[in-house]
Amino acid sequence: MPNEFDDSVIDEARLTVGVEVGNLAKGYFGDFSEVPYSHDKSAMIAETQRLLDAGAGIIAEATFEYNGCICSVDILRAVQDGYEIVEVKSSTASSGETAKDVPDAYLHDMAYQFYVLINCGLNITKVSVMRLNKDYSRKGDLNLQELFILTDCTSRITAMQTDVPEIIAGITQVAAQKTQPFIAVGSHCNKPHKCGYKAYCSRNMLAKDTPSRIDCEAIRKFIDTIKYPLYHLDFETYQQVIPAWDGVNPYIQIPFQYSLHIQDSIGSEPVHKEFLAEHDRDPRREFAQRLCADIPPDSCIIAYNSSFERIIIKSLAKMFPDLSKHLMNLHGNMIDLAAPFRSGAYYCKEMGGSYSIKVVLPALCPPSDYPELDYKKLKIQNGSAAMSAYAELSGKSPEGIAATRKALLAYCRLDTLAMVRILEKLYEVILTEPL
């Protein structure tokens, strides 16, 4: 039933990252031969055999088949008395990690490959997983030996082999069925990956409505923590899987944009300020300087899920000692606008059990009444899209860059304007509270 599959679970950006990491990892051991990808697996298998016969020492995407089971090995490396399987993953690891720290999903990948290759007559003497070193901070040229971490999983993989034929038989049996298997919705629907059929399988489950609730006393206590002038703040960040600049680690959050709506008093029309870094250089220094210029010390700052902004500010303070005092002052003066919604002090059924700003905003300010607050009218509608859009700027034309920057500014601006309007709704609650 392909029409029932929700393809939003497919993270295209993550797939692109996997390809980028895989391509870089191929050069870890030096020169290599690569089996070109083809829908015709028999062609890949034949090319693999040709390379083996020619004595190739390192083969990327080496492809094999045994009894209907096909696999392509990320890196197959000739070692003494046999071969090593190296499975490349775009996730991170720390130095010193062992096979017991490797996720089960990775082990199953490698156990299957080991099973196929052994039955094809290869002597596999070692099986390893290669992941990015999360502690690697680039300094100068990229160092592959430091960027990647190899973990020997051979003993765990060989111990799993007795179960592999049974697992394959079970998968084959399910795949051959003409009707769907009936399995209850559970944690397996999200791990190790989200399943695109979860909504379909959950279609007959009755959701229990949580009753609407407004705790005026709790909201008043929250409002009492706010001082003016008030700075509504939101950050956008992105990640570099392969560090491009000095001082960058794989997957660290790099702030590239912020929006700021400033109110001098309760109900006053806010003044808007914003920053969006150029995409072709490290934005962190300029980001930190502009933030300090736009927000004076001892200011009251409000953010939605402020722990994220706090983490970013703290990392910038550590990186730039000359700005540290100012930044940490900002860090210590932040209020979390999500708090009343997270705690349940303000809840209505339109929120559907969520306190995300993308859910809270239309619940309090319906798009029919507040069309200017409708995220669906934007070209960029969420943080993930903003992250991807900024990361892809380098591949665009000047016109494409200008259009994307305009879309990024509009999205981030709406995030802080949304905070202004949400806070106004909270003020309305306590102003209309009966005495």
Low-confidence ranges of the chain (pLDDT < 70): 13, 205-210, 433-435
Q: Report if residue 189 sits inside a domain.
A: no
| Residues 90 and 76: beta-carbon distance below 8 Å | no
Q: How many domains does the chain have?
A: 2
Tell me, what's the pLDDT at 110?
98
Tell me, what's the pLDDT at 271?
98
Tell me, what's the pLDDT at 15?
77
Largest Cα–Cα distance in the chain? 88
Q: Report if residue 182 sits inside a domain.
A: no
Same domain, 159 and 96: yes
Q: Report if residue 183 sits inside a domain.
A: no
Q: Report if residue 371 sits inside a domain.
A: yes
Same domain, 147 and 268: no
Same domain, 87 and 166: yes
> CATH number of the domain that 290 lies in?
3.30.420.10
d(CA 257, CA 250) in angstroms, rounded, equals: 20
Tell me, what's the pLDDT at 77?
97
Of 145, 175, 205, which marks where a domain is finished?
A: 175
d(CA 149, CA 132) in angstroms, rounded, equals: 6
CB neighbour list of residue 63: distance below 8 Å, 6 or more residues apart = 35, 41, 44, 45, 47, 48, 70, 71, 72, 73
CB neighbour list of residue 207: distance below 8 Å, 6 or more residues apart = none
CB neighbour list of residue 177: distance below 8 Å, 6 or more residues apart = none
Q: Report if residue 62 sits inside a domain.
A: yes
Tell me, what's the pLDDT at 435?
42
Same domain, 138 and 263: no
Give pTM, 2 decimals: 0.81
> Which tokens hold the place of 276?
């969006």
Same domain, 148 and 220: no
Tell me, what's the pLDDT at 209?
56
Tell me, what's the pLDDT at 88?
97
d(CA 100, CA 85) in angstroms, rounded, equals: 18
Q: Report if residue 221 sits inside a domain.
A: yes
DSSP 8-state symbol, 324: H
List the one residue out of 99, 103, 57 whose CA is nearest residue 77: 57
Of 175, 192, 224, which marks where a domain is finished?
A: 175
The alpha-helical segments, DSSP class H, found in 229-345 are: 284-294, 306-319, 321-331, 339-342
d(CA 156, CA 165) in angstroms, rounded, equals: 16
CA distance readout (Å), 113 to 72, 126, 431? 8, 12, 66
Same domain, 143 and 243: no
If you search the block for the tokens 């390192």, which residue do you land on? 58
List the one residue out of 361, 320, 357 whose CA is nearest residue 234: 357
Same domain, 162 and 223: no
User: What is the per-residue DSSP string for 350-411?
Assistant: GGTT---HHHHHHHHS-TTT-GGG-GGGSS--SHHHHHHHHHTGGGS-HHHHHHHHHHHHHH
Same domain, 153 and 217: no
Of 149, 175, 201, which marks where a domain is finished?
A: 175
Same domain, 157 and 219: no
Tell me, what's the pLDDT at 208?
52
DSSP 8-state symbol, 241: S
Domain region containing 13: 2-175
E-state strands within 210-290: 213-214, 230-239, 253-263, 271-276
Q: Report if residue 348 sits inside a domain.
A: yes
Q: Report if residue 281 sits inside a domain.
A: yes
